[in-house]
Amino acid sequence: MASVPVLSADKLVDRHGRAITYLRISVTDRCDLRCRYCMAEQMTFLPRAELLSLEEIALIAERFVARGVRKIRLTGGEPLVRRDMIDLAWRLGRQIGAGLDELTLTTNATRLATHAEALFAAGMRRINVSLDSRDPALFRHITRHGDVTKVLEGIAAAKAAGLRIKINMVALKGLNEHEVGPMLAWAGEEGHDLTLIETMPLGQIDEDRADRFLPLPRVLADLRDRFELVADDHSSGGPARYWRLAGTSTRLGLISPLTGNFCATCNRVRLSTDGKLHMCLGHEDSVDLREAIRTGGLAEVDTRISHALDLKPAAHDFRIAPGAAPAVARHMSVTGG
C-alpha cells in the first residue's frame, strides 16, 4: 500500500518576517460589468478548462488554513457568476472555527439578491460590495452597462439576511469625487462601512489612469471639513486605515497604495483563478499551484507554497503617470481584489 505523504504544517512567514494569515482567491476572471478603471471594453477571458476546479480550490485553501491562514476572501472578476460558487462557500465555511476565523466575499452585488441568504448560511457574516456611484447614469457610464438598481437590491437583501456590508468605492477624479461625501452619508444612514480606494495600475485599459487618479489624503481632508471623523484603530485584516463617522456605527477606510504605502505589514497572498499564487498584487512573480496539485498532489502544493514565501517582495512598485504602462500586465479580475 502506497504511503500517504506527511504534509508540512509549517506556518507561513515570508523572507521579510511577515506572517501570512490572509488568502484571497479569485474564483473566476469573468465579470458581468466592465468597469472602466478595471477592464478593457473587449476582454479575453481564460478558457474554462484552465480554471481551478471547485475541489482544487478547496483543497489548496485547506492547506493554507492548516498552515496559519485565518481569513479567506472569495473574489473575481465577479465571483457570483461562477455556478458552483455557493458550493465552494459551503465547503470553505466548514473551516470556520477549525483554524479559519472568517470567510468573506467581494462582489459587485448584481446577483447578490439571489444568493445573500445562502452566503449567510454558509458561514459568511460580512461582505464587500464594489459600488462607485449610486447615480444610475453615472453608474452605467463607469460600468459601461450596469444597472445600479440591481446592486442596491442586492445590498438590501444582504442586509436583511444578516450580512454586515462594506462598500468599496474607487475614487475617480472628475468622475465620482462629488459622490464621496453623499456615499459616506448614505453609508452612515444604512449602517454600512465605506472604504475608499485609489485606482491601481493593473492591466491595460482603454483610458489613461493618470487622468482619473485622485489622491486619498486630499479626499480625506475634504471629508473632515464636512463630517466629524474620529481616528479608529480597527483592523479588518487588510491594508485599510480607518476613521469612525461620529454618531454612527460606520467606519470609513482608506486604501492608498500610491500615496500611503502599506507593504510593511502585508499579510496577504492571492490565488488566481488559473491556479497561480501571486505573492504581491504589484509584481508578476507567481508560483503555479494548479500544475502542482495536478501532478504532485498536496505535498507538492506545500512545497511550492513554501517556495513562494521566499519570493515575496518587500513592496509593490505602483506609480501613476500620464502615458505610463501598467505595473503588471494582468487585470485585477485575474488576480482578485
Question: How many angstroms separate the CA atoms of 240 and 257, rounded?
Answer: 10
pLDDT in tens, 244-290: 999 999 999 998 765 556 667 788 999 999 999 998 876 678 999 99
Residue 313 predicted with pLDDT over 70 = yes
- What is the assigned CATH class of domain 22-335? alpha beta
* Binding-site residue set: 24, 31, 35, 37-38, 73, 77, 106, 130, 166, 200, 263, 266, 268-270, 280
pLDDT in tens, 133-165: 999 999 999 999 999 999 999 999 999 999 999
Q: Is 68 left (phi over 0), alpha (psi -120 to 50) or beta?
A: left
> Is 58:12 a contact under the CB 8 Å cutoff?
no
Q: How far is CA 27 from CA 263, 295, 305, 334, in A?
A: 25, 21, 19, 9
Hey, where are the domains in the chain? 22-335
Alpha helices per DSSP H over the chain: 54-66, 85-93, 112-122, 136-143, 148-161, 180-190, 216-226, 289-295, 297-311, 332-335
Decide: helix, strand or coil at residue 329. coil
State the DSSP code for 96. Answer: B
Beta bridge partners of residue 166, listed in sequence order: 128, 193
Q: How sure is the predictor about 5, in pLDDT bands with cuts at 50, 70 and 90?
A: very low
Global confidence as pTM: 0.87
Q: How sure is the predictor about 331, in pLDDT bands with cuts at 50, 70 and 90?
A: low
* Binding-site residue set for S-adenosyl-L-methionine: 37, 77, 130, 200
Share of the chain above pLDDT 70, in %: 83
Decide: helix, strand or coil at residue 64. helix
* Binding-site residue set for GTP: 24, 73, 106, 166, 268-270
Q: Which three cell numbers stand for residue 117?
A: 441568504
pLDDT in tens, 110-127: 999 999 999 999 999 999
Question: How many angstroms separate the CA atoms of 287 and 261, rounded?
Answer: 24
Question: How many angstroms separate the CA atoms of 302 and 222, rounded?
Answer: 47
Q: How sure is the predictor about 80, in pLDDT bands with cuts at 50, 70 and 90?
A: very high
> Is 99:126 a contact under the CB 8 Å cutoff?
no
> Is 36:207 a contact under the CB 8 Å cutoff?
yes
pLDDT of the residue at 178? 95
Q: How far is CA 237 from CA 23, 149, 250, 336, in A?
A: 10, 30, 17, 16
Terminal Cα-to-Cα distance of the chain (whole angstroms)? 44
Question: How many angstroms separate the CA atoms of 279 and 316, rounded?
Answer: 10
Rounded mean pLDDT, 222-251:
90
Count of CB atoms within 10 A of residue 261's CB? 13
Whats the size of the chain, residue-wise? 337
